[in-house]
Structure 1
Amino acid sequence: MFLVFLLLFLNPLPLAFALNQEGLYLQRVKQSLSDPTNALTSWNDRDDTPCNWSGISCDSVTGRVDSVDLSDFQLAGPFPVFLCRLPSLRTISLVNNSINSLLPVEISTCQNLTTLDLSQNLIVGSLPDSLAKIRMLKNLVLFGNNFSGEIPESFGQFQRLELLNLAGNLLDGTFPPFLGNISTLKELDLAYNPFSPSHIPSELGNLTNLEQLFLAGCNLVGQIPSSFSRLTRLINLDLSFNRLTGSIPSSITELKSIEQLELYNNSLSGELPLNMGNLTTLKRFDASMNELTGTIPTELCGLQLESLNLFDNRLEGTLPESITRSKDLYELKLFNNKLSGPLPRQLGENSPLLSLDLSYNQFSGKIPENLCARGKLEDVVLIYNSFSGEIPESLGNCRSLGRVRFKHNHFSGRVPDGFWGLPRVFLFELAENSLSGQISKMISSAHNLSVLSISNNQFSGSLLDEIGSLEALVEISASGNGFTGRIPGSLVKLRQLVRLDLSENELDGGIPDGIKGWMNLNELNLANNRLSGSIPSDIGSLPVLNYLDLSSNSFSGKIPIELQNLKLNVLNLSNNQLSGELPPFYAKEMYRNSFVGNPGLCGDLEGLCPKIGQSKNQSYLWILRSIFVLAGLVFVVGVVWFYMKYRSIKNNKKGATISKWRSFHKIGFGEFEIADCLKEENVIGSGASGKVYKVVLSNGDAVAVKKLSGGVKKEDSLSADTERDEFEIEVETLGKIRHKNIVRLWCCCNAGDSKLLVYEYMPNGSLGDLLHGSKGGLLDWPTRYKIALDAAEGLSYLHHDCVPPIVHRDVKSNNILLDEEFGARVADFGVAKIVKRVGKGAESMSVIAGSYGYIAPEYAYTLRVNEKSDIYSFGVVIIELVTGKPPTDPEFGEKDVVKWVCATCDQKGADQVIDPRLDSTYKEEICRVLDIGLLCTNALPINRPSMRKVVKLLQEAGGENKSKAGKGGELSPYYYIEEASVEGSVV
């Protein structure tokens, strides 16, 4: 006995530190969850109480656990029901983890809960009916999961609920009217769920305690109910991205507490209510992208607004003077209307104006002097109006300006010196006005300048050397002015330059030396000047140049044979003083107009090089030669005619004829040269729509020919229509596109049951074949990164620079082709969609188009098409490049590569998903790019960045200055909410 007592005295720990029952329950919670980052290491079973464990809070009086907050712990597994055994538990927060599977009905045993927050997890299935049995519950937050089905009717029975947030799930069925029974509600958020088309229930007007109501993207139709007038405590109302119709009811003006009213992207019509002036608390009003008419009420503009957005409507009249009384106004967007008259003189004087966009209206008069009086103005967009007068000197002192767009107005006079040198401006667009004077030397201070667009004005003087110091310049457009002197040699330092247009000026001298540095130059236009000297052979070394116009100058000497290295869409050297032989590639009839007006230029084209000063003997000799040539020509024509006749008869027997040949570029081959090479030994690929052939032309160049399947029977008319549609879509889409990262369509042939598309040949095939084939190891990380960036720039061009925008709808690695230097081009536009109703939301399609593993989740259940679907698919491509794995694989089980990556990263870390063939020294950059891919594949379309943003993120991920923008884990779920808005006048 004494020995036992002695042992207890010497080792009292087991008795003193026995973990209490609540701690034991929490240990069971820990065992049920996967903890890859060891976030729960402080949960030590040797403690006597869990109150000091991370994420655990206890009541200061009773010592019992009253809160479990494990947000951002990167935990995975099912909902830990053992939490409900904690008798005093008031709060459960598991935000931004990987809680998965179904939400168990046993959750109702958490009877004392007041807050349950499971947002941003992976929970699936239906919402449990039993949640309404938690009598004390005040806050229920489940947004950003994968809940599906209808909202249970029992949810109308909550007794104390103040916050209900179910946004960003997959809830369908009709919009629930019984939620109007929860009289205690202060905030209701059901945004971005694919409900079936539903009217807004008038019962929501019973929620008289409501302060926040978010119903954006809920597929709502019909009118805004008049019962909303009873929501007198409402501060924020968001009904955007729906299909609401009718006028904005006057009852909306009875919302006495409203501060933010979002009605954009609907089909609302009629005039704004006259008594909008009653909304004295209103700070932000956005009714853009509707069909509103009439004028802007003076009463509305007299409010203390911070933001007013009414763009893309049909409003008329003038801008009320009362808008200047809004002392907090920072955003005013009224573009795409029919507003006219001058701007109020005091605009910007009393408010910290940040963004002003009045483009595509009929405004006139001068720019107000005090537009930037508060020194906050960043964007001023006035394009396509009738503004006149001089640009105010005060704008030259507005150092906050980043975007200036004054194109297509009637501005005149000189531009203030300070305006040329604004330090933050990146877009400077003054084109199509009547401005005069010279470029100021202060332009050297515009270090961020990316686009300088001053074409079609009356500027004079010389182009300054200082322009060459602006290293960020991508475009210089200065055509149609009166510039004189030489082209500054400093311009060759602009390594980022993509477009240089100095045409229609009075420039002299030659093209400066050292242009080899223009590795990104796509367009060079120096036409209609007084330039002289020889054409530098270095032009032939510019890898992406596809537009070259040096016409109507005084260039002399020979045409450099190096120009044959270029793949040009446009070549014009006409009306110069060139001489000598043509480069063999261009000695063809099709290039005649590119060289006319050069009397000393010799070649094989009749009439291009007239022979003069010949002797009579030479004339006789020439006649004899001509006779022999003519006889030979007749013989050749006869043979060719016979051969053509034979081929025609043979082809008619086969039911295939060559007809309707259509060219989109200047080409040096014909249809018969293509048709003769369509043999099985030349097949390089095949798919559901037909085969692809490699055709080597007589000049040694290669092209890719896509032959769509033909030979349909009458009963297969639907298939025939589909094939015809695919052919017409691809022709119409690709025939108009000009971009270095979009595959070039040279020409096409439609001969009824035989349809051919002739593309530029990509020697390295498709990304999918190369990446997932035996040669995948050849693609090191720098090459993969370049492919991702190239493809992103191609898609960005489709989404943002095409008018109207183009949605590809089948973005995948097999539709990204690689040239000899592994430059990427987006291809295969057979299911592309021209988005004709920009700003009116997504368009519905009759069938799902795309490829399994790449289709965005919302596309499968809504068939709604917009650019966000492409962005999801491109995110999958990025993940393929990082992991080296295809979008679907037996290794993933029932998951696709996106879900597999998310789960593996959470449980084992990013090292387990990165392709082991990649050099580990690039790990940091690879992880940043992977984050961008995961951002693009966000389940919520609204959270995906635009393609323009993706390009920027990729550039930052691979650049010297590391940006946090690409860190997926550091972005809030609504970080890209503004990207979803369609801006009508962006660069």
Structure 2
Amino acid sequence: MLERLDLHRAGLNSKIPSELGQCTNLSFIDFTSNSLTGVLPPSFSKLTKISEMDISDNFLSGEISSDLVSNWTRLITLTLQNNTFKGRIPSAIGRLTNLNYLFLFNNQLSSSIPIEIGNMKALWQLDLSSNMLTGTIPSEIGNLTSLTSIDLNTNQLNGELPATISRLENLQLLSLFTNNFSGHIPKDLGQNMSLNYVRFGNNNFYGELPPAICNGFMIEHFTVYNNNFSGPLPDCLRNCSGLVRVRLEGNKFTGDISKAFGIHPNLVFFDGSSNQFSGELSPEWGKCEELTSLQLDGNKISGEIPPELGKLTQLQELNLSSNKLTGMIPSELSEPKFLYKLSLSNNQLIGDIPSVIGNLLDLKNLDLSKNALTGDIPKELGYCIRLLELNLSNNLFSGEIPSDFGDLVALQSLLDLSNNSLSGIIPSNLNKLTSLVKLNFFRNKLSAGPEGYAGNTGLCGDAKGLSSCSSTATGIRSDKNKNKILIAVILPISIIIFLATIVVGFLILHKKPKEIYAELVTNSYEDESTQSDISINNILLAAEFEPKLSDFGTSRLLNPDSLNWTAVAGSYGYMAPELAYTIKVTEKCDIYSFGVVALELMMGKHPGELIISLSSSSSDDGNLLLKDLLDQRLEPPTGQLAEEVVFVAKVALACTRINPDSRPTMRFIAQELSAHTRAYLSEPLGTITMSKRSMN
């Protein structure tokens, strides 16, 4: 007679035959790690002698029937995890009074945990994680005094933890992360326990942690991130020498960080960011020899960075940003050879950047911004050839930009040297940074102008005046409609005009606005791509203030057979209305954006809601005088200049009509601007209203 049936990893891919229910002497079934489908056969209710049933890691579905469970009273092990069972956990589960292991995790079970679970007093391990369970933890769970492990993570459980959970003196693992729990943690939790794993992250707990939560000094994993805990950390944490992983981020913890922690030789990961910790960093951190990640950003930690951190030979990530750290950057921080992220931004650090930081050959992210660092930027940073992001902005650096930065060809997301006192010429070999998305040299004393980039073949982009990007400088991919998307990255030059006031000043004083706008639209209609991201920030003024259209990011080459784009890409405030709600890209979207830019040039500020109100026939804004909308910081235009301003304003308003079909084409606009030479107004500028906006 068949008593044991072990078919784990047997390649089964069918339903469980109901005939197995006739094998009433079966005490052991193992079907793990197959591809079984369907439901548990109702005939299994006849298996009254079954003591171990493991059918995990399959594709079984349906409900766990009360009729089945009721007759399995000899069960010691029931493991049904990693399937797609749904419905309630049957209340009949309480009849399994001999059960030691109940694993139902990673299914689709819903509703509440039955209170009958409190009858399973022989239970050692309970894992109901990664389901859709709701309701509270029944207080009857305190009856399960043999429990060593409770894992309820990643459900939708709510309410407070029952005080009875403190009775579970054998409990070693309590995992409740990613639920909707709230309230205080029971004050006696941890007393007379030897907890190893405490995981409360991603809930709504508040108040202080229980002072005895680590009384056994056995805790290895302590993760309580993203709650509303406050107050100091329990004193007992300092003596938990076996700590391996600590996550405290996203709470309101206070107190001296150095007093809360001691020497933890096994500590691998520590994140205490976004709290209110104070005090200074202790040199004792240098004795946590296994530490790979230390994150204390967003606190109130003061004092100097201890050079002992350089002894952390396994360190990969160090984030001390947004604190009150002072002093100099220790040169010892160059010693952890595996360091890939170093962020010390938004502190009060002074002095030079140690040149030996260039020895961190695995460094990918370096952020020293918002300090008071001085001196030259060390050329040795150019040795960090794996850098993806470099931010040295908002300091007091002087000297020139190291030409070695041209060797940082892996830079992708950011090179920011803005708000310093850098001088000299921007190195021409920065043109090798073909993957760079954002480059910022704003507010320095750099002498290079547009002419400094003349003939620089490394500058590329989908804009007139720039060479087209080769396949080595751009990425070509296809979306689901097989439309090619050209990802072109253009190195911004130092005289990009971001403020409309500066642009307007240059235009009025140095060039006729009609001519600039005509060149701008001519540049666009000669290019057959749709930009979809035209804004005041994407216009560069070259020599003689010739406008160039740049797209800092993605520009899409139109396929005539398909104009539907799968995602919105554009600058808010400049996108055409239809792009926002239909995600349909046409030439008329660009025309709308050009109109907004033109109005911004005339007004000295973004037109905002004015565009929408002017498009409404019931709006009173149509009676606004044009002269009142022009940039009031400049003298009112007169003569031919006034006529041209009026005409450009009318063109801009035509471009921003709500109905795309009523907007003119770019070619028509360019032709009109080029041909329009009248030097008179039909009425004085001071009487022209915004309602008189039709193109003549």
Alignment TM-score > 0.5, same fold = yes
Deviation at 1:214, TM superposition (A): 0.6
**Structure 1 position 140 matched with structure 2 position 53:** yes
Structure 1 residues 338 and 735: alpha-carbon distance in aligned structure 2, compared to 1, 3 A threshold: farther
**Contact 2:79 / 2:102 at 8 angstroms: preserved in 1?**
yes
The one-letter amino acid of 1:541's match is G
Residue aligning to 1:399: 313
Deviation at 1:375, TM superposition (A): 0.5
1:468-547 → structure 2 map (5 Å cutoff): 468-498=382-412, 499-533=414-448, 535-537=452-454, 541-542=458-459
Structure 1 residues 467 and 226: alpha-carbon distance in aligned structure 2, compared to 1, 3 A threshold: same
Distance 1:735 1:312 in 2: 33
Distance 1:542 1:131 in 2: 72
The one-letter amino acid of 1:200's match is I
Residue aligning to 1:158: 72
**Contact 1:242 / 1:265 at 8 angstroms: preserved in 2?**
yes
Structure 1 residues 346 and 275: alpha-carbon distance in aligned structure 2, compared to 1, 3 A threshold: closer
Distance 2:262 2:174 in 1: 23
Distance 1:467 1:314 in 2: 40
3-state DSSP of counterpart to 1:99: coil
Q: Unaligned regions of 5+ residues in structure 1, if any?
A: 1-86, 547-559, 577-589, 599-604, 611-625, 631-635, 637-660, 669-680, 686-691, 694-703, 707-729, 738-744, 762-987
| Aligned match for 2:4, one of 84, 90, 98 | 90
Residue aligning to 2:158: 245
**Structure 1 position 105 matched with structure 2 position 18:** yes
Q: Which has the higher helix share?
A: 1
Deviation at 1:133, TM superposition (A): 3.0
State which drifts further: 536-545 or 342-351: 536-545
Distance 1:539 1:300 in 2: 64
Residue aligning to 1:343: 257
3-state DSSP of counterpart to 1:300: coil
Structure 1 residues 163 and 608: alpha-carbon distance in aligned structure 2, compared to 1, 3 A threshold: farther
Distance 2:33 2:571 in 1: 42
Deviation at 1:537, TM superposition (A): 4.5
Deviation at 1:237, TM superposition (A): 0.5
**Contact 1:358 / 1:381 at 8 angstroms: preserved in 2?**
yes
Structure 1 residues 348 and 591: alpha-carbon distance in aligned structure 2, compared to 1, 3 A threshold: closer
Count residues with an aligned counterpart: 534
Residue aligning to 1:448: 362
| Aligned match for 1:562, one of 466, 481, 500 | 466
1:948-959 → structure 2 map (5 Å cutoff): none
| Aligned match for 1:574, one of 468, 479, 495 | 495
**Structure 1 position 460 matched with structure 2 position 374:** yes
The one-letter amino acid of 2:510's match is L
Residue aligning to 2:510: 608
Distance 1:191 1:736 in 2: 44
Residue aligning to 2:242: 328
The one-letter amino acid of 1:430's match is L
Residue aligning to 1:290: 203
The one-letter amino acid of 2:495's match is S
3-state DSSP of counterpart to 2:108: coil
3-state DSSP of counterpart to 2:43: helix
**Structure 1 position 210 matched with structure 2 position 123:** yes
3-state DSSP of counterpart to 1:413: strand
1:747-766 → structure 2 map (5 Å cutoff): 747-750=575-578, 757-758=584-585
| Aligned match for 2:194, one of 281, 284, 295 | 281
Residue aligning to 1:380: 294
Distance 2:119 2:202 in 1: 29
1:640-659 → structure 2 map (5 Å cutoff): none
Distance 1:115 1:234 in 2: 24
With normalisation by structure 2, the TM-score equals 0.70
Residue aligning to 1:684: 561
With normalisation by structure 1, the TM-score equals 0.50
Distance 2:280 2:492 in 1: 42
Deviation at 1:106, TM superposition (A): 1.5
Structure 1 residues 595 and 567: alpha-carbon distance in aligned structure 2, compared to 1, 3 A threshold: farther
* Offset from partner CA, 1:733-767 (integer Å, 9 cap, x none): x4569xxxxxxx97223599x96743799xxxxxx
3-state DSSP of counterpart to 2:61: strand
* Offset from partner CA, 1:341-398 (integer Å, 9 cap, x none): 2114361414522211111111112122212423011111112111111111211211
Deviation at 1:593, TM superposition (A): 6.4
Structure 1 residues 366 and 682: alpha-carbon distance in aligned structure 2, compared to 1, 3 A threshold: closer
The one-letter amino acid of 1:432's match is N
**Structure 1 position 179 matched with structure 2 position 6:** no
**Contact 2:369 / 2:394 at 8 angstroms: preserved in 1?**
yes
**Contact 2:239 / 2:262 at 8 angstroms: preserved in 1?**
no
Distance 2:40 2:171 in 1: 31
Structure 1 residues 382 and 502: alpha-carbon distance in aligned structure 2, compared to 1, 3 A threshold: same
* Offset from partner CA, 1:152-195 (integer Å, 9 cap, x none): 22222114321111112221222211112112211111112222
Deviation at 1:103, TM superposition (A): 0.6
Distance 1:532 1:199 in 2: 69
Structure 1 residues 487 and 174: alpha-carbon distance in aligned structure 2, compared to 1, 3 A threshold: same
**Contact 2:533 / 2:571 at 8 angstroms: preserved in 1?**
no
Deviation at 1:539, TM superposition (A): 6.1
**Contact 1:381 / 1:404 at 8 angstroms: preserved in 2?**
yes
State which drifts further: 402-411 or 273-282: 273-282
Structure 1 residues 662 and 545: alpha-carbon distance in aligned structure 2, compared to 1, 3 A threshold: closer
Distance 1:167 1:306 in 2: 26
The one-letter amino acid of 2:440's match is N
* Offset from partner CA, 1:656-687 (integer Å, 9 cap, x none): xxxxx99767679xxxxxxxxxxxx99623xx
State which drifts further: 521-530 or 349-358: 349-358
Deviation at 1:530, TM superposition (A): 2.1
The one-letter amino acid of 1:257's match is N
**Contact 2:269 / 2:291 at 8 angstroms: preserved in 1?**
yes
Distance 1:287 1:151 in 2: 29
* Offset from partner CA, 1:470-524 (integer Å, 9 cap, x none): 1211111001112222222222122211121111122222222433421211111
Let me know the Cα RMSD of the aligned residues.
3.6
Q: Unaligned regions of 5+ residues in structure 2, if any?
A: 470-486, 519-531, 540-557, 589-696
3-state DSSP of counterpart to 1:299: coil
The percent identity for this pair of structures is: 28
The one-letter amino acid of 2:433's match is W
3-state DSSP of counterpart to 2:447: strand
Structure 1 residues 574 and 470: alpha-carbon distance in aligned structure 2, compared to 1, 3 A threshold: closer
The one-letter amino acid of 1:758's match is V
The one-letter amino acid of 1:477's match is N
The one-letter amino acid of 2:332's match is G
3-state DSSP of counterpart to 1:316: strand
Distance 1:202 1:409 in 2: 48
Distance 1:339 1:349 in 2: 20
Structure 1 residues 575 and 111: alpha-carbon distance in aligned structure 2, compared to 1, 3 A threshold: closer
Deviation at 1:201, TM superposition (A): 0.7
1:718-867 → structure 2 map (5 Å cutoff): 734-735=569-570, 747-750=575-578, 757-758=584-585
The one-letter amino acid of 2:403's match is G
**Contact 2:136 / 2:157 at 8 angstroms: preserved in 1?**
yes
Structure 1 residues 113 and 465: alpha-carbon distance in aligned structure 2, compared to 1, 3 A threshold: farther
1:590-609 → structure 2 map (5 Å cutoff): 605-608=507-510
* Offset from partner CA, 1:696-715 (integer Å, 9 cap, x none): xxxxxxxx7x9xxxxxxxxx
Structure 1 residues 263 and 543: alpha-carbon distance in aligned structure 2, compared to 1, 3 A threshold: farther
Structure 1 residues 107 and 414: alpha-carbon distance in aligned structure 2, compared to 1, 3 A threshold: same
Distance 2:309 2:494 in 1: 42
| Aligned match for 1:426, one of 331, 340, 347 | 340
3-state DSSP of counterpart to 2:188: helix
Distance 1:380 1:524 in 2: 29
